[in-house]
A and B are shown apart, each in its own frame.
Chain A
Amino acid sequence: MPDHNPVKELQRRLVERGCPAKVVRKIVRETAEHYEDLQRAAQAQGLAGDQAIAYAAEKLGKPNELAERHLEALRKSSWWGRCPQFAFGVLPLLVMLELGLQYYSLNRGGMPINLDRKPIPYPQLVEWAYPAFYLAAIVVTATVTFFFARQALRYGVARRWLWITAGLLAIHGVFLQIHASSGIGLSLNQPLILANQKVAPGHPMEIDGISLMSDRVALFHSEQEYSSDYRYEVRPVGLKGDKYWKLYESPDLEEKISQGVAELSQRSLRGQLPSHTLHDPGWTTTWSFGAVWQRAWTNRAGRLNSGFQVDRDDAGNLLWTMWTGDMVPWPVVSYGLPGLGYGDVFQAINIASPLLIVAAMLAWRRRKGKQLLRESSLIGVKLTDVA
């Protein structure tokens, strides 16, 4: 008797290559029936026992080659398998971009609240906004990863594409800004402190950057806006760990900074803001990817409850420099305390989740494969004992 069964060999090979269980079952069943038919035909021609089995095995073909043909057919039966470069190398980012745009459009309808003049109506909302938005981001990242990994496994796409998708989504997670802040708008040219509180959900850096650029371009094309008080805005932003402030270019910049810092100091003394350190003057500089990373680190260190961030200004500044080749005309001053916060943990989870999900799905597939190989009833017919 031949010491190996080609159908079992085919099954083992398909399982090893990560073929879906449902497909393996169908292939193995049909091939086993075919193998049996070949043995019957051999016996009808007068071959007996081992000769009939050897004849059938030879006619059936080499299991490894058959497995490759099945996998090729599975891949080519779907667009996912035919164009993995686009499906798993580009499309995940486009999906994230689209989801980010949706998210951003929601953000545009944010909730302005007068913080200084009135008490915060729902302070818990702001407190819970950070973890809520982080969780939402993690759920989105995990769901997108799961969907793409499932498609890759379903159509027998090479595993490297799963890891490429996971890597892209993980990198994208680094650039996802989660920003739930109470922004206290402070226009120093006005006697009033204009305050608003805004809950801004997270959106990808590229969308932030584009939106900031569109705002800036609109500002520069609007003479009225450009010469208005809004140009000289100092905007301290502070609640919980969100402690930075921005300063836009102004003819009397130093004075405005002094006023802003004095205002912040008073607030700090009144307990409205924690003591602070100033980071990264960074105005009228040329931005590079290195500068963005540096800023991101500064932001991370400057916020207690938000993770490593490349925010709207960083992205916008980078785009501006790349686009115009000129220095950025609007300065940004970071203000905050160094330290790690729970946002770092959330963001770490967001970055790691695609990789963990792909690893878990591959492990699950391997487990299912082992189960499949143990199923004695899988083939449904006796492979060698043909009456």
Chain B
Amino acid sequence: MYIDGMTTKSAKTNPSFLNGVPELLVLRLLARRAMYGYEIVKEIQVQTHDALTFGEGCIYPYLHYLEAQKQVRSRRREVDGRSRNYYELTLRGKKRLAALETEWSRVTQAVAAVRGGQHA
């Protein structure tokens, strides 16, 4: 499923070009540690140097969808006196992440090969 909500810095990119990228990024971040929605959005901005940004409110439909697919699960936790919904990866989510990363590597290698060929 593709839920729109991620844009590039230039905001001129065809949205379908990013199809599957949000899922990969969210699952990758959650593979490291449990996070809540605001944290995920900020982390994507920081780590991609603002090249990719999630619409602030758009992260939640996406997380809820992943939760319904049992790729992530949420748990209420209190940190620094504030209660938050923390999301963490499930076993199914880990498998999905592995599959997405394999697919992503295959695509980027194929694109790089073509681009290298152009310059050759």
Q: Report whether chain A binds chain B.
A: yes
Q: Which residues of A contact B (CB under 8 A)?
A: 10, 23, 26-27, 29-31, 33-34, 37-38, 59-61, 66, 69-70, 72-74, 76-78, 380
Whether A31 lies near B57 (C-beta < 8 A) is yes
B36: chain A residues within 8 A (beta carbon) = 30, 33
Write the nearest CB–CB distance from A60 to chain B, whole angstroms: 5
Chain B residues 1-37 with CB under 8 Å of chain A are: 1, 3-5, 36-37
Whether B56 lies near A70 (C-beta < 8 A) is no
**Identity of the chain B residue whose Cβ is nearest the Cβ of A78 in the assembled complex:** B68
Whether B3 lies near A30 (C-beta < 8 A) is no
Write the nearest CB–CB distance from A73 to chain B, whole angstroms: 4
Whether B57 lies near A34 (C-beta < 8 A) is yes
Whether A70 lies near B69 (C-beta < 8 A) is no
Q: How many A-B residue pairs have CB under 8 A?
A: 65
Q: Which residues of B contact A (CB under 8 A)?
A: 1, 3-5, 36-38, 55-58, 60-62, 64-65, 68-69, 82-85
Whether A69 lies near B58 (C-beta < 8 A) is yes
CA distance A59 to B57 in the complex (A): 8
CA distance A76 to B3 in the complex (A): 10
B84: chain A residues within 8 A (beta carbon) = 33
Q: Which of A33, A74, A78 contacts B38 (CB 8 A)?
A: A33
**Identity of the chain B residue whose Cβ is nearest the Cβ of A81 in the assembled complex:** B68
Whether A70 lies near B68 (C-beta < 8 A) is no
Q: Which of B5, B38, B64 contacts A34 (CB 8 A)?
A: B38
21 contacts between A and B (CB under 8 A): A29-B85, A30-B36, A30-B37, A30-B60, A30-B85, A31-B57, A31-B60, A33-B36, A33-B37, A33-B82, A59-B56, A61-B56, A61-B58, A66-B57, A66-B61, A70-B64, A72-B3, A73-B62, A73-B64, A73-B65, A73-B68
CA distance A30 to B87 in the complex (A): 12
Write the nearest CB–CB distance from A62 to chain B, whole angstroms: 9
Q: Which of B5, B56, B64 contacts A26 (CB 8 A)?
A: B64
A27: chain B residues within 8 A (beta carbon) = 60, 64
Write the nearest CB–CB distance from B62 to chain A, whole angstroms: 7
Whether A69 lies near B61 (C-beta < 8 A) is yes
CA distance A33 to B63 in the complex (A): 15
